[in-house]
Amino acid sequence: MSALLVAEQVLNGLQYGMMLFLMAAGLTLVFGVMGLINLAHGALYMTGAFACAAVAAATGSFWLGLAASLAAAASAGALVELAVIRRLYARDHLDQVLATFALILVFSETTRWLFGSFPLYLSLPEALSGAVDLPGGLVYPAFRLAIIGIGFAVAVFLFWLIGRTRLGIRIRAGEADREMIAALGVDIGRLYTLVFALGAALAGLAGALVGTIQSVQVGMGEPVLILAFVVIVIGGIGSIRGALVGALVVGMTDTLGKAFLPQLFALAMEPSAARAVGSALASMLIYILMAAVLIVRPQGLFGARA
Amino acid sequence: MNGPILEVEGLQKSFGALKATDEVTLDLRPGEIHALIGPNGAGKSTLIKLITGEIAADAGRIRFEGQAIDTVDAAGRARLGLARSFQVSQLVPDFTALENVMLAVQGASGESFRFLRPALADPALTEPAAFHLAHAGLSGRERVAAAALSHGERRRLEIAMALAMRPRAFLLDEPMAGMGADGARDLTALLSDLRTEAPILLVEHDMDAVFALADRVSVLVYGRVIATGSVAEIRADPEVRRSYLGEEA
Amino acid sequence: MNRAAIIDAGLFAALVAVALVAQAAGEPFVITLATKAAIFALAGVGLNLVLGYGGLVSFGHAAFFGIGGYVAGILASHAMSGAPVATFPFTMQGTNEMLAIWPMAMAVAGLVALAIGALSLRTSGVYFIMVTLAFAQMLYYFAISWPAYGGEDGLSFYVRNTFPGLNTFDPIQFFAIVAVLLGLALGLSALIVRSRFGLALRAARAAPGRAVAVGIRPFGIRLTAFVISGMITGLAGALYADLNRFVSPAMLSWHMSGEIMVFVILGGVGRLAGPLAGAGAYILLEHLLGGVSEYWQALLGLLLLVIVLFAPGGIVGMLNGGRGR
């Protein structure tokens, strides 16, 4: 395997990790602030992807589609928070799991009814449809580089938002002590809706971006959701930094494992068996990583509580 | 055995910069009630948790019946015979009073991996449980769910569960908490009785109860034991009067 | 018998009655539906043990359901082809004897539950939910990427496995097998819940600090319950494979985990016959709503939302006079 191939896969891993970060950041914020486990986060991801596909098809502009994905996911998130989620904060995790599972069914079937079961495809925006020459002779798709850039930008934005703004202070205070900040006159209901909508918007953005390089279809959200859970377990619940580190670790491990494990096994085994063992093991790699973290540090790398 | 049942030596625990337990050394001797008093935040509950093993000490040693138990976990210490009650009642709310005490009998016996026989049809659980409920003054309340008991009855149920462990030592964390005067008097009589079963390390805010019950008293302030002695000695100790009773020396 | 026991017995009798009436009326399809409900109920009985009585929200029980299914499918397909399942460390042949398949399915599911449980139970709360979900997903991807047994396409076996003295192809006879196993599992869990072990399990849920203070270690209790639970759900998986004569990664998917959980909660968490009521209602809804719209799952979702938000005791809770959990 050449250095070029490795570099390309590292970039792929980075891009994948950034996508996972967009998903995991919203989940971990919602859990950290409201103590809620939201299975329907994947449905918001799907909502973003479909909004992008529909608006891009209608207007011919990918950028309008991307804006629509943010708007649609954020408003779907706010709506769901107001209608359902806020009744669940005081409930136990079981009720939260069941209610948000029910939301997945509603979202998925409604989307299937609106758009059908066949995948939709998005075309790349003109400006980003080409490839970029990177130093060392590596040619890499511009759109994927843009995804990496967007991921970094969101990470910086979130660190700024949580660490430096009034809203961030309230979010952190809300994590520490709900009653206290309510007593200080902060409208806790509005804060929660806002945080939930923010998480939803990030998920919608991720859905639109991934939908563009893969396809847009019903059920696309849940596999990503479960990976985002793995990210959070590894990174630690409620920590944006944990989400970022966890997402990059998971993205890299999964991408590099799938790219190179079968080749690695081929050194010692006959090719077809190596492919089977290598790809089966590669598909399990991040979960093995998660198991290792659970053994060494059950509360996650950056988590305070288990 | 004539030596102390429980010996705590140089125990330390910090939470960040806060020294919750600072070089605490004390012991519990057979047949006595040793009261642990101190203002709020003095570290009494932390000390109890260190002794039961719910939290791990940073330094120091705990010996129980002459054996070091520092590496024994909380459940293991309970089985060795260290029974504790909780400041805020920790009962299984949907279990009846009887089932709560049965749980304690079962836990102490170490035999929880029996799957088929109904626990309520197991006289090895029900008979001692009913006996200890009666001892704690709860006869006739066996079938009532813990959640439906009055506050005073729940305090008694806590005692019954500790009794059911057939312990070698009791650690009672504010057994009188929230009791009215009459209830406190009845409970004082019960606790006084209890010392014939096993010695008691008693954390209590009710000074009347402490002075009526305790054979020895230790005063904890900011995580440190500032004095240990008989009730009379503690009453007379100038440092205790200054820092705990808030009086001019 | 108290009221709860009467409801439990009544629900089981209703299931049997449905199958018998369908038999008399010559409606084998309805018998198959009743069989499916009984199998799902069995899977739910397994989950209910940890979820209802242990308070452990496992979102990964599809792992055990699917493993039970794959054990049945793999053994049956080897019996068909004649090739041994394994030659090391000892030669193991395939089989289509249910009496051999069930213990095998339960043993493998139990071992996997032991491994998953030992890791997952190091955590609690939401972590536990996410970790169980993730480990089930790992097995799902493994099943997809491992080509030997059909990979993504799943594995068909054309002959239903056999049971001595019965014709398992006859719907009512197969139903009888499943119903007896369900009855046994219900009886077993009734015993377990009331036993010393059940006392410890319920205490570890409601007051873990107290359990430790009386000398009971919750981890071992919970892990044991998790393994028993996985074995029961694994048995259900083996029966489900037999019902369809087909296994696929779908049996291992997160959606399956969610459905098993729905059976339990729809029926009523921590109630003995809750999973039976839930699975029965689920099959009924699938059938009724499925006739209304092919997007019936959206309606199911709305119904679930209403139940969670307004009727937390589930169906058995309502039958029992609306008393909540």
Distance from C-alpha of B212 to C-alpha of B221, rounded to nearest angstrom: 22
Number of domains in chain B: 2
Asked, for residue B157, whether it belongs to a domain, the answer is yes
Domain co-membership, B178 together with B238:
yes
Chain B interface disruption, residue of C195, C201, C214, C269, most B CBs within 10 A: C214
Q: What is the pLDDT of residue B4?
A: 92
Domain co-membership, B241 together with B172:
yes
Which residue reads 């109860």 in tokens?
Answer: B209
Q: Per the CB < 8 Å rule, is B75 touching C199?
A: no
A34 beta partners: none
Q: What is the pLDDT of residue C1?
A: 60
Q: How many angstroms separate the Cα of C293 from the Cα of each of A178, C50, C287, C289?
A: 43, 35, 10, 6
* Pairing, β A131-134 against β B18-28: unpaired
Q: Per the CB < 8 Å rule, is C122 touching A294?
A: yes
Q: What is the pLDDT of residues A46-61, one digit of tens each?
A: 999 999 999 999 998 9
Among residues C291, C280, C287, C283, which one has the least CA distance to residue C319?
A: C280
Mean pLDDT score, A4-17: 92
Mean pLDDT score, A248-277: 87
Q: Is B100 helix (H, G, I), strand (E, B) or coil?
A: helix
pLDDT at A300 over 90: no
Cis status, amide bond into C89, omega within 30 of 0: yes
C-chain residue closest to B75, CA distance: C215
Domain co-membership, B132 together with B73:
no
Asked, for residue B107, whether it belongs to a domain, the answer is yes
pLDDT at A303 over 50: yes
DSSP run (H or E) holding A138: strand A138-141
Q: Per the CB < 8 Å rule, is C195 touching B93?
A: no
Name the band, by pLDDT with cuts 50, 70 and 90, for residue A305.
very low
Distance from C-alpha of C230 to C-alpha of C110, rounded to nearest angstrom: 6
Name the band, by pLDDT with cuts 50, 70 and 90, for residue C323.
very low
Asked, for residue B5, whether it belongs to a domain, the answer is yes
Among residues A206, A198, A201, A200, which one has the least CA distance to residue A147?
A: A206
Q: What is the CATH number of the domain that holds B222?
A: 3.40.50.300
Distance from C-alpha of C94 to C-alpha of B223, rounded to nearest angstrom: 68
Q: Per the CB < 8 Å rule, is A102 touching C295?
A: no
DSSP run (H or E) holding B17: none
Name the band, by pLDDT with cuts 50, 70 and 90, for residue C16.
very high
Residues 6+ away with beta carbon under 8 Å from C26? none
Distance from C-alpha of C46 to C-alpha of C257, rounded to nearest angstrom: 12
* Tokens (6 digits) for A220: 């696309």
In this complex, is the C-beta atom of B87 within 8 Å of any C-beta atom belonging to chain C? no
Q: How many residues does chain C have?
A: 325
Q: Is C9 helix (H, G, I), strand (E, B) or coil?
A: helix
Say if residues C57 and C130 touch (Cβ distance below 8 Å).
Answer: no
Q: What is the pLDDT of residue A191?
A: 86
Say if residues C38 and C175 touch (Cβ distance below 8 Å).
Answer: yes
Distance from C-alpha of C198 to C-alpha of B247, rounded to nearest angstrom: 54
Q: Which residues of C touch A276 (CB under 8 A)?
A: 145-148
Chain C interface disruption, residue of B80, B115, B157, B172, most C CBs within 10 A: B115
Q: How many CB atoms lie within 10 A of CB C304?
A: 22
Distance from C-alpha of C175 to C-alpha of C34, rounded to nearest angstrom: 8
Asked, for residue A11, whether it belongs to a domain, the answer is yes
b/e C202-235 (16+ beta carbons within 10 angstroms → b): bbbbbbbebbbbbbbbbeebbbbbbbbbbbbbbb
Domain co-membership, B107 together with B137:
yes
C28 CA to chain B: closest CA distance, Å? 37
Judging contact as 3 or more Cβ pairs under 8 Å, the answer for A and C is yes
Q: Where are the alpha helices (DSSP H) in chain C?
A: 3-24, 28-48, 62-81, 98-120, 125-145, 171-194, 196-206, 208-213, 218-244, 254-267, 274-292, 296-310, 314-319
Q: Per the CB < 8 Å rule, is C134 touching A112?
A: no
Distance from C-alpha of B241 to C-alpha of B231, rounded to nearest angstrom: 13
ipTM of the complex: 0.90
Q: Which of B107-116, C9-18, C122-131 has the lowest mean pLDDT?
A: C122-131
Nearest to B94 among C206, C214, C216 (CB): C206
Asked, for residue A158, whether it belongs to a domain, the answer is yes
Asked, for residue A286, whether it belongs to a domain, the answer is no
Q: Per the CB < 8 Å rule, is C211 touching B107?
A: yes
Q: How many angstroms separate the Cα of A4 from the Cα of each of A135, A139, A228, A259?
A: 11, 9, 29, 13
Name the band, by pLDDT with cuts 50, 70 and 90, for residue B245.
low
Q: Which residue, B166, B192, B210, sits at the end of a domain?
A: B166
Asked, for residue A272, whether it belongs to a domain, the answer is no
Q: What is the pLDDT of residue C324?
A: 40
pLDDT above 90 as % of chain A: 50
> Subunits touching A (CB < 8 Å, at least 3 pairs)?
C
Q: What is the pLDDT of residue B249?
A: 42
Say if residues C221 and C201 touch (Cβ distance below 8 Å).
Answer: yes
Residue A146 belongs to what domain range? Answer: 3-220
B-chain residue closest to C188, CA distance: B116
Q: What is the pLDDT of residue A170?
A: 78
Domain co-membership, B101 together with B158:
yes
C-chain residue closest to B79, CA distance: C215
Q: How many angstroms separate the Cα of C121 from the Cα of each of A295, A297, C55, C126, C165?
A: 11, 13, 12, 12, 43
Q: Per the CB < 8 Å rule, is C216 touching B115?
A: no
Q: Which residues of C touch B86 (CB under 8 A)?
A: 209-210, 213
Distance from C-alpha of A192 to C-alpha of A82, rounded to nearest angstrom: 9
Mean pLDDT score, A217-241: 90
A-chain residue closest to C139, CA distance: A284
C142 CA to chain A: closest CA distance, Å? 5
Nearest to C137 among A94, A226, A279 (CB): A226
**Domain locations along chain C:** 3-249
pLDDT above 70 as % of chain B: 97
Name the band, by pLDDT with cuts 50, 70 and 90, for residue C213.
very high
Q: Which of C30-44, C82-96, C189-203 has the lowest mean pLDDT?
A: C82-96
Name the band, by pLDDT with cuts 50, 70 and 90, for residue A269.
confident
Could you give the angle at the alpha carbon of A25 between the alpha carbons of C138 and A287, nearest 5°? 15
Q: What is the pLDDT of residue B247?
A: 57
Q: What is the pLDDT of residues B124-174, one digit of tens each?
A: 999 999 999 999 999 999 999 999 999 999 999 999 999 999 999 999 999
Distance from C-alpha of C98 to C-alpha of B74, rounded to nearest angstrom: 45
Mean pLDDT score, C108-121: 96
Nearest to C207 among B74, B90, B165 (CB): B90
Q: What is the pLDDT of residues A168-205, one digit of tens each?
A: 887 777 666 666 677 777 778 888 899 999 999 999 99
Mean pLDDT score, B1-18: 87
Judging contact as 3 or more Cβ pairs under 8 Å, the answer for B and A is no
Q: Per the CB < 8 Å rule, is B104 touching C214?
A: yes
Q: What is the pLDDT of residue C88?
A: 75
Distance from C-alpha of A259 to C-alpha of A257, rounded to nearest angstrom: 5
Q: What is the pLDDT of residue B38?
A: 87
Chain A interface disruption, residue of C124, C126, C286, C303, most A CBs within 10 A: C126
Which residue reads 């070091």 in tokens?
Answer: B68
Size of interface B-C (CB pairs under 8 A): 103
Q: How many residues does chain A have?
A: 306
Q: Per the CB < 8 Å rule, is A98 touching C261?
A: yes
Q: Which residue, B125, B144, B166, sits at the end of a domain?
A: B166
Task: Identify the residue with better confidence: B133 or B38.
Answer: B133
Q: What is the pLDDT of residues B14-29, one digit of tens each?
A: 988 888 899 999 999 9
Q: Per the CB < 8 Å rule, is B113 touching C197?
A: yes
Nearest to C309 among A87, A101, A229 (CB): A87
Say if residues B45 and C209 touch (Cβ distance below 8 Å).
Answer: no
In this complex, is the C-beta atom of B143 within 8 Å of any C-beta atom belonging to chain C? no
Name the band, by pLDDT with cuts 50, 70 and 90, for residue C289.
confident
Q: Where are the alpha helices (DSSP H) in A84-220?
A: 93-115, 142-164, 166-176, 178-183, 188-213
Q: Per the CB < 8 Å rule, is A102 touching C134?
A: no
pLDDT above 90 as % of chain C: 67
Distance from C-alpha of C322 to C-alpha of C312, rounded to nearest angstrom: 9
Q: What is the pLDDT of residue A174?
A: 67
Q: What is the pLDDT of residues B78-116, one digit of tens each?
A: 999 999 999 888 999 999 999 999 999 999 998 999 999
pLDDT at B236 over 90: no
In this complex, is the C-beta atom of C216 within 8 Å of any C-beta atom belonging to chain B? yes
Say if residues A291 and C115 touch (Cβ distance below 8 Å).
Answer: no
pLDDT at C83 over 50: yes
Q: What is the pLDDT of residue A138?
A: 85
Asked, for residue B197, whether it belongs to a domain, the answer is yes
Domain co-membership, B15 together with B28:
yes
Q: Which residues of C touch B114 (CB under 8 A)?
A: 195-197
Q: Is A56 helix (H, G, I), strand (E, B) or coil?
A: helix
Q: Which residue, B166, B188, B216, sits at the end of a domain?
A: B166
> Inter-axis angle of helices A188-213 and A41-59, to 10 degrees?
60
Q: Where are the alpha helices (DSSP H) in B31-115?
A: 44-52, 74-80, 97-109
DSSP run (H or E) holding A250: helix A240-266
Residue B247 belongs to what domain range? Answer: 1-81+168-249
Distance from C-alpha of A13 to C-alpha of A6, rounded to nearest angstrom: 10
Number of domains in chain A: 1
Max avg pLDDT among A160-164, B213-217, B243-247, C313-317: B213-217
Distance from C-alpha of C15 to C-alpha of B217, rounded to nearest angstrom: 67
Asked, for residue B206, whether it belongs to a domain, the answer is yes
Say if residues C111 and C231 touch (Cβ distance below 8 Å).
Answer: no
Q: Per the CB < 8 Å rule, is C301 touching A112?
A: no
